[in-house]
Amino acid sequence: MEKLNLPQLRMLVTDYCDSNCIYCRPGGEGNLMCRHLNMDYATATEVAAAYYKLGGNSVKISGGDPVFWGHLIEYIEYLKRQLQFNHVELITRSVKIRELIEELNYAGLDVLNFSFDTLIENRYSIITRKNDFSLFKEVICECAKIFYCKINTVILPDTSETEILSMISFCIENGVRELKLLDYIDDINGEKQSEVVSSSLFDVLYQYLDSIAQEYKIEFQGGLGHPMRVYKISDSFKVICKDARRGAWYCDLCLNCSHYPCHDALMALRVTPSNSFQLCLLNNKMHWKFDSSNMEDQLVSIMKHYQHAFFEEKYDENYCVNLS
């Protein structure tokens, strides 16, 4: 079998979440409608085994919020102990994670990724439509003492520089290892052309991070997606800036899409609780229903779209990086 260039695998094990964030689709990543679906455990293991056989060794478990999936602990144990994945990451925004800390640690979870957009309590409530700010912050601090923890922060149109600087300080003071800053994307209704709301705040932050970082480099998530600035602030902390203005990777299927060029582009391969492989968030035609009788061959067929990926660069004088 020819060697495949494998995308990042994201297992969307449930579409249920106890948050209702203003920028998120109902049901979370990959789902335009929340139907309270949960991935079958046998399906989750079958997909992971097929991906591992093709050479994959890293997976992100997402949703919805995966802490509400009943098979989470045994699945992580399966990935780490039976398949021996090098990297298993869990993404959550729920305080329920506190109930699972000991089991997650025993199961061998590598990275715990929290979505946390502000340290201002009333803004947190507006963004998430929840009132558990203090508890959630406590849980992050507690987990950072045990796991390699990351925080994802979406830069909303009204996010202030002070908020981001406070988040950087919070991470450093509490042992969080990475802070990823993401641009806000306006495409919730799934109908109009998606819009990247690239705040000028990114450009201000670049100047600040340039001044405090030991070094920085450009990385692509899983070798695909958008170019991201990775700032090494210290040996134990880095800041990652995902700014979609710079460009993205695409494949042959993208060229005939009405959204092309878009913010999602070619990045992860998502496995959804609707029993489908999903290459794209914006085009529902980029979904393939599982063929449980021949999962590996189906994966190989889908992966071939990644083989001839191409990067389309968008020059923006404010980005100030020459990738060549």
Residue 169 burial (CB < 10 Å; 0-12/13-18/19+)? exposed
Cα–Cα distance measured from residue 245 to residue 264, given in angstroms and rounded to the nearest whole number: 12
Query: How large is the average pLDDT for residues 246-269?
Result: 84
Residue 323 lies in a domain: no
Q: What is the reported pLDDT for 192?
A: 42
Q: Provide the domain count of the chain.
A: 1
pTM of the model: 0.90
User: Does the pLDDT at position 294 exceed 90?
Assistant: no
Residue 3 lies in a domain: no
Residue 318 lies in a domain: no
Structure confidence at residue 6 as a pLDDT band (50, 70, 90)? confident
Residue 309 lies in a domain: yes
Q: What is the reported pLDDT for 29?
A: 60
Q: What is the reported pLDDT for 146?
A: 98
Query: How large is the average pLDDT for residues 217-244?
Result: 90
Average pLDDT, the chain: 86
Residue 139 lies in a domain: yes
CATH number at residue 141: 3.20.20.70
Residue 257 lies in a domain: yes
Per the structure, the complete domain to which residue 291 belongs is given by: 9-313
User: Does the pLDDT at position 155 exceed 50?
Assistant: yes
Residue 300 burial (CB < 10 Å; 0-12/13-18/19+)? middle
Residue 320 lies in a domain: no
Query: How large is the average pLDDT for residues 116-122?
Result: 97
